[in-house]
Amino acid sequence: MNRKERAALVHEGLRRVIEKRTTELDHGNPFELLVATLLSAQCTDERVNTVTPALFRAFPDAASMSKAEPEQIFPFIRSISYPNNKSKHLAKMARQVMENFDGRIPETVQKLETLAGVGHKTAQVVAGIAFGVPTLAVDTHIFRVAHRIGLVTDAPTPLHVERQLKRLLPVDDWGEMHHLLILHGRYHCTARSPLCETCPIQFACKWYSQLAKLPGPVIGLNQKLGRYYCATRKHYFAEPDHISDRAGLEQLSCPKCGSMNVFDTRTGKTSRRIKDYRI
């Protein structure tokens, strides 16, 4: 299948199993969404949701927050990552909203990006959720999942991933796919322990198909004869060589024959690795 067909299958497959296809940040209006999204940078939504109720009681809108100094905001968000910088951003952002936008949160990505602390991803999230603008913001979950599934190729940055995904998907599906990929990455296709065996879209995942092609474990290896076993030459050795495979990934190899068909005698598992994006 080509990437556009793969994207359609992934969209359909995730829609069947993910019912709530929206942000997990608690908010009641565009201002609260903007604040929560800004706070969520390099922090979990769960943590953000624990601090925003008190923060919003103290500063319910841009007008009240614009009158606060960063030192007054800091105590409410001290448990969030980078609270010093974020408290400064929130104070300045609120003043900018009052001075430049008459107290209303701007509705376009371009105008949102003029606010302190608001990058491209945050601007897209707010514009998409609060104002229905077609957006597809890429976070670490989407970056990882899109690469694993095979929706993108040669996409070294979130912006590259965003552009490729937007070319694959109909505009009307951008916002929903954003949430589907985030939630799939957050709860199923996790960075370190992805639940591949129960994945609802494994049939469309290139990474899963590559994992399935890896050789199974070799039973009965003798650790006393060496740390590693070459299944090509049928012998043990202590120290492997290292070579790069066709994907540019460094692999362990047999020092005698150069084969990458190497197994760890402690576990019996292959030493071969598949390129991954664990962020």
Among the options 121, 166, 264, 269, which is catalytic?
121
Tell me: do 173 and 258 sit in the same domain.
no
> Of 213, 233, 264, which marks where a domain is finished?
213
Number of Cβ within 10 Å of residue 229's Cβ equals 24
pLDDT bucket at 247, cuts 50 / 70 / 90 = confident
What tens digit of pLDDT does each residue of 178-214 get?
999 999 999 999 999 999 999 999 999 999 999 999 9
43-71: average pLDDT:
97
Torsion angles phi and psi, residue 9, rounded to 5: -65, -40
Question: Catalytic annotation on 276?
Answer: no
Tell me: do 169 and 247 sit in the same domain.
no
CATH number at residue 198: 1.10.340.30
Strand order in the sheet with 262-264: 235-237, 228-230, 262-264
What pLDDT does 1 receive? 87
pTM: predicted TM-score of the whole model, two decimal places: 0.88
Residue 276 pLDDT > 90? no
Give the position of tokens 């009641």: 28
Q: Which helix (H) or strand (E) holds 243?
A: strand 241-244
Tell me: do 86 and 174 sit in the same domain.
yes
By DSSP bridging, strand 250-253 and strand 228-230 are unpaired
Number of domains in the chain: 2
Among the options 139, 166, 224, 241, which is catalytic?
139
210-236: average pLDDT:
96
61-75: average pLDDT:
97
Could you tell me which of 110, 118, 56 has the C-alpha nearest to residue 85?
118
Please check whether residue 277 is in contact with residue 147, taking contact to mean a CB–CB distance below 8 angstroms. Answer: yes
What pLDDT does 15 receive? 96
Cα angle value 40/42/48 (rounded, 5°): 30
What pLDDT does 151 receive? 97
Which residue range forms the structural domain that includes residue 244?
A: 215-279
Question: Catalytic annotation on 139?
Answer: yes
Tell me: do 196 and 225 sit in the same domain.
no
Tell me: do 49 and 170 sit in the same domain.
yes
Residue 279 pLDDT > 80? no
pLDDT bucket at 278, cuts 50 / 70 / 90 = confident
> Of 156, 180, 213, which marks where a domain is finished?
213
Torsion angles phi and psi, residue 87, rounded to 5: -65, -35
Distance separating alpha carbons of residues 273 and 279, to the nearest angstrom: 17
Tell me: do 28 and 106 sit in the same domain.
yes
Tell me: do 223 and 268 sit in the same domain.
yes
Could you tell me which of 234, 148, 159, 241 has the C-alpha nearest to residue 196?
148
The number of residues in the chain equals: 279
What pLDDT does 248 receive? 87
Give the chain's mean pLDDT: 96
SS3 28: coil
Give the position of tokens 């990929």: 181
User: And the tokens for 174?
Assistant: 């951008």
Tell me: do 200 and 230 sit in the same domain.
no
What tens digit of pLDDT does each residue of 88-124 get?
999 999 999 999 999 999 999 999 999 999 999 999 9
Tell me: do 63 and 79 sit in the same domain.
yes
Tell me: do 249 and 223 sit in the same domain.
yes
Distance separating alpha carbons of residues 109 and 169, to the nearest angstrom: 19
